[in-house]
Amino acid sequence: MLDVENFDFSIKTKQSPVAIILLIWKYFINIIRQFWPALIALFIGRRSGSISDLVLLAIIVVAVSSLFFAIAFYLRFSFKIIHDELLIEKGVFKKTKLNIPIERIQTLNFEQGIIHQVFNVVKIDVDTAGSAKNEFTFNALEKDKAEALRNLVLERKSILSNEDPNSLLDEVVEKETYPVQKVFSLNLKELFIIGLTQNHLRTLVLLFFFCLWGFGELQDAGLNVDFINKENAELILNSGILIIFGLTIFLLMFIIIGTAIRTILKFYDYKMFRVASGFKIQSGLFNRRENAVLDYKIQQINWVNNPLKRLFKIHQLQLKQASSIEVSSKKSIKIPGISIDKINEVLNFVLGQQADYNEFVQHKIEKAYLVRMIMYYSIFPWIAISIGLWYFTEEAYFYFILFMIPYMIISSIVSFKKWTFGFNNRILYTHNGVFENKNNIIQLHKIQNIKIKQSPYQWKRNLASLRIYTAAGSIEIPYLKYEHAIKINDFLLYKVELNSEKWY
């Protein structure tokens, strides 16, 4: 471990000059994201003396201004640690001071993009308890200085919180005095399989709406898109179903392979380690990340698989940490592909003897849930949409809409059959899904609030739903007998009050 005495953080300290490059790159990417339709229009169909020249000039001015802004931001940024507080000064036109108490800092996660790796610097995400607005990022610190800062913060935090310093230090760094156990890793073949088993239908839908949005943006930017008209569209359709089918297959293959490549780049050299009372995860090729989580910070554990993942007997596992914003990606540790045996190993680390969820008595929800889903989500809305299409278009399109009815009915039946839950004196387990199998575990002492909900439909049938809240989001158990919901609510709250274990 690096000696923190090599650096004096009680005086104002600046980031590495590499931060200027990173800030310029950040602003450049933001400009491209905001103006890419206009840029395409400029380079494809720009005419001299047109309004496009003014747009191009404005973009150049913004780009040059961003360069000076990045330099000014670097020069006016500094930090130091005094009286157990991380003091940060920043701002270009307006000076801002942040005072972050060390005891509120939860983790300092390292990240290295390509530029970071070339210059041996790291990006640090400072994750604090409470409001998400106090989270802060150091764009670039020399690696040895970053490690010294992290070690100093964690050592001071352990003293202030009267905790074992080993438990905090092992959260993010390996110590020679404590054995580090590798839980599992992912090779290129496994990552490629994981990429092939992602939810490609969702990607296809997003791509479709992205193309529609991009088409509108290009039109607004002045690009001539008159060649995309009704006549040409009909010509393509009349050219034969084989061409359409071939284009569809090509697009799907492009999406599948692209997703696989993106998965490999994001999770390259994925490794998960067990360190003291937590986990450390390293992954990434061009953007190398190092994240850590302690057992007591984990609020929910869930694992999901879809039909493709079931073929390869893998799941996606998430360890959700406490957050002021529900399901924050920064607070969730994701393992993209893991076997059920390894999941049980992780559960044994975190839960110990509590992890035997398969031995629970599994409770079902009431059949009124199925009736409600079929009538109000599977039949009535699709019939109404079909009638509306037939009335306004006088075409036979509504026949295609009616095909959704058997699909939604089957989905509702599958969802009802899969919904089960169970609990003991320590944990609550739920299982649900339609095409996916979703499993979730919550330790009872980490429950923050429970609400008993009744819609008019439920009230008339003496039913209720339970909404269970944690610091990492909530889950709902739908359609229980009202008296059963009351008993479960009382039992869970009793266990919360009885337990004094640390939850965050």
Q: DSSP of 439-461, one letter per residue?
A: EEEEEGGG--EEEEE--HHHHHT
Kind and range of the H or E element at 18?
helix 18-45
Question: How far apart (Å, rounded) are the C-alpha atoms in residues 292 and 167?
Answer: 12
Tallying the residues shown for the chain, one arrives at: 504
pLDDT recorded at residue 329? 47
Per-residue pLDDT in tens (0 to 9) along the chain, 504 residues: 445 567 888 888 999 988 888 888 877 777 666 666 656 655 555 554 555 566 667 667 766 777 788 888 888 889 999 888 888 988 877 888 888 888 888 778 888 888 888 888 999 888 776 544 446 788 899 988 988 888 888 788 777 766 554 444 444 444 434 457 889 899 999 999 998 888 666 666 555 555 555 555 445 545 454 544 555 555 555 555 556 566 667 777 877 888 888 888 889 999 999 987 788 888 988 888 888 788 888 889 999 999 889 999 999 999 988 754 444 445 578 899 999 999 999 999 988 766 677 778 889 999 999 999 888 887 877 777 777 777 776 655 566 667 778 888 999 999 999 999 999 888 999 999 998 999 999 999 999 999 999 999 999 999 999 999 998 889 999 999 999 999 999 999 998 888 777 665
Q: Quick count: other Cβ atoms within 10 Å of Cβ 381?
A: 14
Question: Dihedrals φ, ψ of 269, to 5°?
Answer: 55, 45
Angle at 79 between CA 78 and CA 81, to 5 degrees: 160
pLDDT recorded at residue 295? 85
Domain boundaries defined on the chain: 4-178, 189-265, 368-415
pLDDT recorded at residue 239? 54
- Check residue 293 and give left, alpha or beta (phi > 0: left; psi -120 to 50: alpha): beta
pLDDT recorded at residue 316? 94
pLDDT recorded at residue 43? 58
Question: How far apart (Å, rounded) are the C-alpha atoms in residues 89 and 125?
Answer: 16
pLDDT recorded at residue 326? 42
Question: How far apart (Å, rounded) are the C-alpha atoms in residues 461 and 459?
Answer: 5
pLDDT recorded at residue 462? 95
**Chain position carrying tokens 């609020």:** 299
Q: 31, 66 in Cβ contact below 8 A?
A: yes
For residue 191, what are the contacts with CB-CB under 8 A and spacing of at least 6? 260, 263, 264, 267, 268, 270, 336, 337
For residue 426, what are the contacts with CB-CB under 8 A and spacing of at least 6? 351, 354, 443, 444, 495
pLDDT recorded at residue 317? 95
pLDDT recorded at residue 165? 47
pLDDT recorded at residue 129? 61
**Chain position carrying tokens 């931060």:** 19
Joined tokens for residue 272: 């998960």
The pTM of the whole model exceeds 0.75: no
pLDDT recorded at residue 490? 94
Question: How far apart (Å, rounded) are the C-alpha atoms in residues 206 and 393?
Answer: 27
pLDDT recorded at residue 332? 75
